[in-house]
Amino acid sequence: MIVRSRPGPLQILFAINGSILPRVIGRLCLTAAITVGAIMLHRTRPDLPVHLAAAPFALIGLALSIFMSFRNNACYDRWWEARKLWGELIIAVRSFIRQTSLLPQDRRAPMLNGVGGFVFGLAARLRDHDEDAAIAKWVALSPAPHATDAALNTVGKQCSELLQDGLIDPIRYSVLEERLTEMSHVLAGCERIKTTPLPFAYALLLHRTAHAFCLMLPFALAPALGWWTMAVSLLVAYTFFGLDALGDELEDPFGNDPNDLPLDAMSRMLERELRHAQGVTHLPPVWPAKRDRLS
């Protein structure tokens, strides 16, 4: 996720770090090359039937911008829902830490480690990393089809043992079980987003239409604008290609793209709080942002 202050006038014009430009620069260069070819073709061979009328492009551009807005709104909804789910996870973990504060440390620490294994296992699962290795740093588990859910089940069993041993009453047990249910809800919600992408045919239609529009537009503008066609074509291409690429990033909010969610930073924040609750004094450092990007 990009974390930087609001850009000033000069940064708006020249800032590259944090922008979508690096992802679309290749397509912009292709657009520039085709634009030069269209202009030169119009100047040298105006009789060739390759120059298009500009009026249809106004209608096509309007329709394309509307459909692209729909797709980007759907992608942003996925990103924002994912962020809300991780916000719920942070609340649930902090509540679990607080609600177990009066337990003996020898019974509390394994439960907090199980929660830590769940958090890091979830982050690894969503980013297609080694889920078992991430959980093993917190708690040792037997092989299971779903290691992250198994870590949460371990904590649930420990809560049941506390009830059986008389260390908590049924009301406190139901409160702790509610926190675990909230974590399970977060797990299911994140998996739903991860495993259910937007329909491929819908995205492919917009990709093809945007490329066809931007690459054919210079042939409609060259007769009227001359070399100014370059500026207009690149501006339109930057807008459409940029929105297209930004939608691709937001569609999977758990990836490693610049605008994806900072799962590493949020996991580290919860790790520090879980370790502190166990009396650890040398906590791992806050996850740093590198070149205005928090991963």
State residue 262's pLDDT score: 94
**What is the Cβ-side half-sphere exposure of residue 59, based on CA atoms within 13 angstroms?**
3
Per-residue pLDDT of the chain (295 residues; tens, 9 = 90+): 777 666 666 666 656 666 788 888 999 999 999 999 988 888 887 777 767 777 788 888 888 888 888 889 999 999 999 999 999 999 999 999 999 999 999 999 999 999 999 999 999 999 999 999 999 999 998 888 999 999 999 999 999 999 999 999 999 999 999 999 999 999 999 999 999 988 888 888 888 999 999 999 998 888 888 889 899 999 999 999 999 999 888 999 999 888 899 999 999 999 999 999 999 989 999 988 887 778 8
**154 phi and psi angles, rounded to 5 deg:** -60, -40
pLDDT of residue 14: 59
Which residues lie below 8 Å from residue 57, measured CB to CB, with a gap of 6+? 213, 216, 217, 220
Q: Domain residues of the chain, as ranges?
A: 17-277
* Rounded Cα–Cα distance for residues 54 and 237 (Å): 16
Instruction: Please state whether 253 falls in left (phi above 0), alpha (psi between -120 and 50) or beta.
Output: alpha
Instruction: Say which residue the tokens 């959980």 belong to.
Output: 135
Residue 224 carries which side chain, given as an amino acid letter?
A
Q: What is the pLDDT of residue 293?
A: 74
- Tell me if residue 180 falls in helix, strand or coil: helix
